[in-house]
Chain A
């Protein structure tokens, strides 16, 4: 399974690099080949404007991965910081911070991101902002729980009694112990941010035309499903392979790092 997951991820990496190498153009329109089936020239066929689907898929995965990476880094930093504070200080600080995360958690799944993206207006920056505004909560919860249990470990108490200040305690003595949990969480969240980005793009709230994004491609593909089923099959298949591969490597990391958390 592990080899399977890594080979799919490797394949995607090679494909994106190859796309750059051969300078595939995801935006070149050719109205003679609208919705053509896959052929030797265009391996994945062409879309409703005669653009090469393969080129668009590759450029889409690049953007999507870029968004997922940025969002994961930002949400993790903010969430971990909030979680560390809440878990370390406990009491009122904890109560207030957790009440705030409760409010964010009261919005089901992606709804809040949709709402934010809608009022901010569709663009790449706003998409990232909307996903960040909603994504930090799970990290905050996770970190808080872990910090609370680590806070009274002997090495932390020892450091404290030797006069270490709070930032030192948090970042030198507690955070390193959270690393493996956070790495696993980040891997899974990479997949879920990619899904969220695609969902927003599917609704027209994410990456804007003519730039390629899997969500928007899938929406177009559904529109032309009757005449060109290859389009929806290819985009759907690519999406599935990537999400599965990322989640499988997450599982592998979890087992390897021996992380036991309820997801």
Chain B
């Protein structure tokens, strides 16, 4: 019963948040100073064009009614049309979204593959110089933004060494630099988390028991300690997916990676607000869903939390 009740509670708060996200993104277009239609079309547009766009966006109706039709259109998968290219926005998102997911997933893998082993290493060498170096690097460099790291990596690996393409998505190796740029911050945070939570677990009684039984150090660390230490790591990964998704906006712009983040920036430059609105909504919704999944997974995975 506990789990059921928990899921219902979680779901209701999830729906409220989704509603809030929809409301906020809906209101975005109303924040445009002056007349949004004029801003989008420019002053030279004809009166007929303006009236058409106004009607298309429903801006001539009362606010509540606009929100209602916004929601009902969204429910049918209709995000409206791009003002610039006249294509349905859903098509734009369908072509761009997979690229972003691909990039985000690869950076997640990079973050995990680099971060977790480094964290284990640092925990095992706790208070030695190796630990000190790993911690310093991870704590300090995780604070560095993508628009700093991206150009630096680009300069070293693409311009000076010439190993990887500078930008674009033509070659299969194009994804490496943007993925490393994105994954780096995550790996630094994971290193720190893994180190802390492993160190906490290593002092527990059952680890002493495992050692006393004569198990090899490898078994003690990998089978006993790491399993318990992994739980907070799941949470961190979920929480970090947000900054990962937001980071794609900058990273995709730097590396000309045609994902949804770049679509967002392009739409802003062209003042194509319906597209901007849709991109913000899609990224925010992905984040909310990822967070919900993490939370549920976490609760189900940990027997101690499950009972509460």
Contacts and interface: CB of A to CB of B under 8 A. Distances in A.
A226 B145 CA distance: 22
B145 A198 contact: yes
28 contacts: A99-B20, A102-B20, A103-B23, A103-B24, A106-B17, A107-B24, A107-B284, A108-B243, A108-B246, A111-B245, A111-B246, A111-B280, A111-B283, A114-B264, A115-B25, A119-B29, A191-B143, A203-B249, A218-B151, A219-B147, A225-B154, A225-B155, A225-B166, A229-B160, A232-B152, A233-B155, A236-B152, A239-B145
Interface stretch (A62-70, A150-158, A240-248): A240-248
The 5 closest A-B pairs by CB, nearest first: A103-B20, A108-B242, A109-B246, A108-B246, A118-B268
Interface string A203-230: 1110000000001001101100110010
Given A108-B287, A222-B151, A232-B151, 15 more contacts: A102-B13, A106-B21, A107-B287, A109-B247, A110-B246, A111-B245, A111-B284, A114-B249, A114-B268, A115-B276, A118-B276, A121-B32, A204-B269, A222-B150, A232-B152
Most chain A beta-carbon neighbours within 10 Å: one of B25, B147, B241, B245: B147
Contacts of B31: 116, 119-120
A108 B284 contact: yes
Nearest to B284: A107
Nearest to B22: A103
A244 B159 CA distance: 26
B87 to A, nearest CB: 20
Interface bin, chain B: 35 or more
A222 B154 contact: yes
A148 interface: no
A199 interface: yes
B265 interface: yes
B304 interface: no
A252 interface: no
Contact of A203 (B150, B151, B154, B250): B250
A236 B146 CA distance: 11
B147 A202 contact: yes
Contact of B159 (A109, A204, A215, A229): A229
Most chain A beta-carbon neighbours within 10 Å: one of B145, B245, B247: B145
A119 to B, nearest CB: 5
Contacts of B154: 222, 225
Nearest to B18: A106
Interface string B64-108: 000000000000000000000000000000000000000000000
B33 interface: yes
B140 interface: yes
A222 B23 CA distance: 37
**Majority secondary structure, B binding face:** helix
Interface of A: 99-100, 102-103, 106-112, 114-116, 118-121, 191, 195, 198-199, 202-205, 215, 218-219, 221-222, 225-226, 229, 232-233, 236, 239-240, 243-244, 247
A236 B25 CA distance: 34
A106 B268 contact: no
B163 interface: no
Contact of A236 (B148, B247, B284): B148
Contacts of A225: 151, 154-155, 159, 166
Contacts of B291: 106
Given A108-B287, A203-B265, A203-B268, A226 B147 contact: no
B68 to A, nearest CB: 19
A112 B150 CA distance: 22
B288 interface: yes
B288 A106 contact: yes
Nearest to B283: A111
Contact of B242 (A102, A109, A199, A226): A109
A112 B249 CA distance: 12
B278 to A, nearest CB: 11
